[in-house]
Amino acid sequence: MSNTPMKTLAEYDDKQIAAMTPQQKTEYARHLLASGHDFEVVEKRFGNPNSSAPRDQAIAEKTALKKNPEWVKRYLDGGYEERKKMAALDRIIHSIKA
């Protein structure tokens, strides 16, 4: 994901969304879901941007993080960024139907 802040869901019109690549749509959908947006709302604006891809990517990322001993230690020690990341991944995993 780029360092440029993403627009909010309402800031994109249908023409801008239609011009996005599938990868951009998937990345944006992940961002919106991690920000707490409802899957049905995101799906309505973007169609179904390959719905299993964001979930599969989140599962793979969570698995990789859990295998990293330094990351796990920071997480278990109450690391803010680590807990924030895990919560975001869990929201993605549980908001998209398998």
Q: pLDDT tens digits, residue range 20-59? A: 777 777 778 777 877 777 777 777 777 664 556 677 888 8
Q: Are 26 and 49 in contact (CB under 8 A)?
A: yes
CA 15, 16, 20 angle in degrees (round to 5)?
A: 115
CA 36, 81, 69 angle in degrees (round to 5)?
A: 120
pLDDT band at 12 (very low <50, low <70, confident <90, very high): confident
Please tell me the pTM assigned to this model. 0.49
What is 17-65 written as a DSSP string? HHTS-HHHHHHHHHHHHHTT--HHHHHHHH----THHHHHHHHHHHHHH
Residue 82, pLDDT above cutoff 80: yes
**Site of tokens 């309505």:** 44
Q: What is the pLDDT of residue 31?
A: 79
What is 70-89 written as a DSSP string? HHHHHHHTT-HHHHHHHHHH
